[in-house]
Amino acid sequence: MTNTRVRMLSGFNHNLKYKGLVYHIQTEDGGKDNPQILTHAFLGGVILDSVMQSYADILDKPDWQETLRGRMKAQHMEEIRKLFAGAFDTHTEMPSEND
């Protein structure tokens, strides 16, 4: 039985070690009243990247929560892929003496 009172789905949170640093990737549902998937990549409490995606287009579908869960997971995994592909490396590189 589907609970029609669900306002938000639980999100995803991962602490990931990359190049000796621990990054936090967080994805959350804005809720049916604010149908947005929001993902942040953090390092030491500083937001390095944010991705937002609307899901207003699926709210009238009978299986919208299942579709939303899939979108949240895909967006979360994409942010993790970006981390390990080096997308945030420039945030942690120390300037050289010549800079």
User: Is residue 19 a part of any domain in this protein?
Assistant: yes
What is the tally of structural domains in the chain? 1
User: Is residue 26 a part of any domain in this protein?
Assistant: yes
**Tens of pLDDT, residues 50-82:** 999 999 999 999 999 999 999 999 999 999 999
User: Is residue 6 a part of any domain in this protein?
Assistant: no
User: Is residue 53 a part of any domain in this protein?
Assistant: yes
User: Is residue 93 a part of any domain in this protein?
Assistant: no
**Tens of pLDDT, residues 13-28:** 999 999 999 999 999 9
Mean pLDDT of the chain: 90
User: Is residue 97 a part of any domain in this protein?
Assistant: no
Q: What pTM did the predictor assign?
A: 0.84
The residues near 46 (Cβ < 8 Å, ≥ 6 apart) are 91
User: Is residue 50 a part of any domain in this protein?
Assistant: yes
Question: In terms of residue numbers, what domain contains 56?
Answer: 12-88
User: Is residue 80 a part of any domain in this protein?
Assistant: yes
Q: Which two tokens stand for residue 25?
A: 């990737």
